Amino acid sequence: MSSETGMNYAPKGMPNRVCKDGEFIFAAAHLDHGHIHGMSQGLIEAGAQVKWVYDPDPAKVAAYCKQFPQAKVARSEDEILCDNSVHLVAGANIASERCAQGLRVMDAGKDYFTDKAPLTTLQQLEAAKEKVQTTGKKYAVYYSERIHVQSAVYAGQLVERGAIGRVIQVLGLGPHREGRGRPDWFYEKEQFGGILCDIGSHQIDQFLFYTGAKDATIERSRVANYTHKDKVNFEDFGDVSLTADNGATGYIRVDWFTPDALGTWGDGRLLILGTEGYIELRKYIDVGRESTSDNVYLVNHEVEKYMPVNNKVGCPYFGQLILDCLNRTENAMTQEHAFKAAELAVKAEMMAKKLEG
């Protein structure tokens, strides 16, 4: 890194729409998780058009149509799969059903864009890999806590520019607010996949991304159900220690203990430690400061600096995904990375020591 760039950490420009109206058509099918709204919004801002929406529950469809009135209500998933104009199906199904949906989507000759976790078992992973192989279609994953968070995008730019030298650790904290009115499947491990598979997958995605690793060893993982004694198949805490194939370390912690008084759903943090500096993200809130998202702290040999980057960076993932689908490239995220993060999340869950609450 030159001394010029050392003092000049301006984010790259905001991404623009990557295609014209009608060039990239998608449908939203299965709306069990609210992430479908963010997934759709991201695609639309990048130039895509939503043509269809489908869910067995009319209330979810109505909520979707309120935000995206241009979407036509499909009478079945099949009505979408039969429409040759649809390039991609976006889904936020119950986690354990995401893979099966993806297999149907790819069999219909369309790319699939699923909420995380993209799958919940190693058997599903094998089926998904095989289907990608035989159909040539994409099984893209909405690891939103990186790809749809501007401070996380910017951190990637900083690491790429060498602002902190070699990355030797990624430490991610992903507390979430449980809130009230979660559906039953949220509490059933068979369906949500376990806390490390579910919200842990965001963190493993980040660990692989910022360390630049292709693979990793799970050193130790733990899960607990400390306080939800009436939900015997729930997990409210989990953590994982990982070592990347390039020698970098990772530690991730996730939980459902966001306190009521916090001004947002979770005090998500990311600490990236390099040999020449470190970056901290206070992604969604900066406790005790004026409430704003996307707070970046950079310390290296030249600067000790706070950088608010909300609305300065954008989220290029969505435009890249559209172009990847149109051009059959892999710039948004490689299939290998998407599956590796899922694999490690499932394995961390399987290997986890179950703590006595």
Q: How far is the CB of 251 from a copy of itself (least distance, A)?
A: 6
Q: What is the CA radius of gyration of the chain?
A: 20
Q: How far apart are CA 90 and CA 1, in angstroms?
A: 39
Q: Name the token pair of 342.
A: 């899922």
Among 26, 251, 317, 339, binds a copy of itself (CB under 8 A): 251
Stretch that binds a copy of itself, among 109-117, 151-159, 331-339, 349-357 (CB under 8 A): 349-357
Among 37, 41, 63, 257, binds a copy of itself (CB under 8 A): 257
Q: Which residues, including other chains, have CB under 8 Å from residue 137's CB and lie 6 or more apart?
A: 105, 106, 109, 110, 111, 112, 131
- Strand pairing partners for 88? 26, 111
3-state secondary structure of 28: strand
Does 226 participate in binding a copy of itself (rule CB under 8 A)?
yes
Among 52, 113, 187, 237, binds a copy of itself (CB under 8 A): 237
What is the pairing mode between strands 304-308 and 353-355? unpaired
129/269 with CB nearer a copy of itself: 269
Footprint on residues 143-182 left by a copy of itself (CB under 8 A): 166, 168-169, 171, 173, 175
234/278 with CB nearer a copy of itself: 278
Footprint on residues 290-309 left by a copy of itself (CB under 8 A): 297, 299-306
Q: How far apart are CA 94 and CA 115, in angstroms?
A: 9
Does 353 participate in binding a copy of itself (rule CB under 8 A)?
yes
What are phi and psi for residue 145, nearest 5 degrees?
-70, -10
Stretch that binds a copy of itself, among 54-62, 138-146, 277-285, 313-321 (CB under 8 A): 277-285
Q: How far is the CB of 167 from a copy of itself (least distance, A)?
A: 10
Q: Which residues, including other chains, have CB under 8 Å from residue 116's CB and lie 6 or more apart?
A: 35, 141, 142, 143, 144, 198, 201, 202, 205, 342
Using CB under 8 A, list all residues that contact a copy of itself: 166, 168-169, 171, 173, 175, 219-220, 222, 224, 226-227, 237, 239, 241, 243, 247, 249, 251, 253, 255, 257, 259-263, 267, 271, 273-278, 280, 287-288, 297, 299-306, 353, 355-357
